[in-house]
Amino acid sequence: MELSKKLAEYSLRLSYEDLPKEVVEFTKLCILDYFGSAIAGSEKVPVQMISELAKEMGGAEQAHLVTGGQSSVLNAALVNGAASHVVELDDIHKGSIIHAATVVIPAALAVAEWKGLSGKELIAAVVAGYEVCFRIGEAVSPSHYYYWHNTATCGTFGAAIAAAKLLGLTTEQTIAALGNAGTQAAGLWEFIEDGAMTKQLHTGKAAMNGLLAALLAQKGFTGPQKILEGNRGFFKAMSEEYDASRITEGLGNEFKIMENSFKIHASCRHTHHAVDLLIDLFNERRPKLEEIESVTVESYQVALNITDNDNPQTQYAAKFSLQFCSALALLKGSATLADFSDSMLWDEEIRQLLKKVKVVTDPQIDAGYPKQWGAAVEVRFADGETIKKQTDFPKGDPENAVTAEELRDKFLAMTGKYPSGQRQQLADDLLALEKLETVEKVMVTL
């Protein structure tokens, strides 16, 4: 049987009643975390540009934008997908290297609000969307990830599945949606070279394109039946190595959303391992710049491919600089949203320490990737002391988990543009999402 057919049948069979309680509770945390990132990102310049364009182009008022007002479901997916990725605090799955929330949830929310669907229906669609994009991402990683941004490419399939499920598509229509989602899958890493705004376009378009594919399929618009494994399909065109068995192994017998990780630092996830370790060292020693002779960060090669930047020139580039994030963590003891400011970017002490940070690939750590996103740090001090720390799992991984209370606190901190009472109520509603007859209740508060 074709892979798209198996994924389509899986997604259509899955119902809210099939979900164990722990999966429901965890999925609500993913949705809560999405809203925190989207609200925090809604006022950022790239998102405002996309929002302004969406409003200029117009559209029926079908769904709310986190930037204010309403527009078409496609525009809502575009804007809300872009907003949730810009502050670099959205969730991440290690094996597939995908930030699923920022592509799956905006597409699902737009449809659920438009069609007046329930919180239970939204939860089931999100679980299905995560499952599908994670499996596709695992099948093509890590080779796909060198040129292609997995969240943008593989995430498009997850958005299509979530939308198709909520739209009530048939198996054949869902296969068509996957086919046309795959032919739109795009997102190149070149933006990392100069810190361009393109990454926000990646997630907005992935959410929008997946939804577009489902909406067209609903009208009978056909798509390729073997978009994944076909001779000119996704696997062969966009990865040097792939494992098609990852698509179906355990499908229907597990919930891959439970493998999801949450971010607590406002930077690229490939910097978090070192940031965790250096914050620990800061808390233990409170080192001053003049006391630090050198810092060495050992990690896996992909981390260096994405974050080896010893001279970031913008706030966003700093989030993707392992050297900058390491210096920030060791001198300031944090890597929060507020830390990535222009004043911190050009902080003289951080700039001096940044020059002392060396990043290298460690073969043993590299062999553990992508199951383990590990790092070791070695700090040499002027007095001759050397401190070395190592981790296989950054804070927020299932193996080093954050609590529901910590995620609620993170949400409240990220939604500071709203009054305290409104933030608390929105958190309460999202954490009781299965009780809502329609998701519109949470959308109208934006």
* pLDDT for the residue 354: 94
Cβ distance 139 to 121 under 8 Å?
no
DSSP 44-61: SHHHHHHHHHHHHH---S
Cβ distance 108 to 124 under 8 Å?
no
Give the model confidence (pLDDT) of 153-205 as tens digits. Answer: 999 999 999 999 999 999 999 999 999 999 999 999 999 888 899 999 999 99
* pLDDT for the residue 444: 87
Residue range 354-374: average pLDDT?
A: 96
The mean predicted confidence, pLDDT, of the chain is 97
The residue among 395, 138, 352 whose CA lies nearest residue 241 is: 138
> What whole-number distance in Å separates Cα of residue 443 and Cα of residue 438?
10
* pLDDT for the residue 195: 84
Give the model confidence (pLDDT) of 292-333 as tens digits. Answer: 999 999 999 999 999 999 999 999 899 999 999 999 999 999
Give the model confidence (pLDDT) of 191-202 as tens digits. Answer: 988 889 999 999
Contacts of 112 (CB under 8 A, 6+ apart): 118, 121, 122, 125, 166, 438, 439
DSSP 206: H
Return the domain boundaries, the chain.
Answer: 3-264+408-443, 269-391
Please give the model's pTM, rounded to 2 decimal places: 0.95
* pLDDT for the residue 123: 98
Give the model confidence (pLDDT) of 397-420 as tens digits. Answer: 999 999 999 999 999 999 999 999
Q: Give yes or no for residue 6 having a pLDDT over 80.
A: yes
pLDDT band at 140 (very low <50, low <70, confident <90, very high): very high
pLDDT band at 8 (very low <50, low <70, confident <90, very high): very high
* CATH superfamily membership of 3-264+408-443: 2-methylcitrate dehydratase PrpD (1.10.4100.10)
Cβ distance 320 to 192 under 8 Å?
yes
Q: Which listed CATH number (3.90.1170.50, 3.40.50.300, 3.40.640.10, 3.30.1330.120) goes with 269-391?
A: 3.30.1330.120
Q: Give yes or no for residue 1 having a pLDDT over 90.
A: no
Cβ distance 176 to 221 under 8 Å?
yes
Give the model confidence (pLDDT) of 31-56 as tens digits. Answer: 999 999 999 999 999 999 999 999 99
Contacts of 198 (CB under 8 A, 6+ apart): 190, 191
Question: Locate tokens 């698509």: which residue?
Answer: 247
Give the model confidence (pLDDT) of 248-299 as tens digits. Answer: 999 999 999 999 999 999 999 999 999 999 999 999 999 999 999 999 999 9
* pLDDT for the residue 150: 98
Calculate what percentage of the chain has a pLDDT beyond 90.
Answer: 98
Cβ distance 255 to 23 under 8 Å?
yes
Q: Give yes or no for residue 118 having a pLDDT over 70.
A: yes
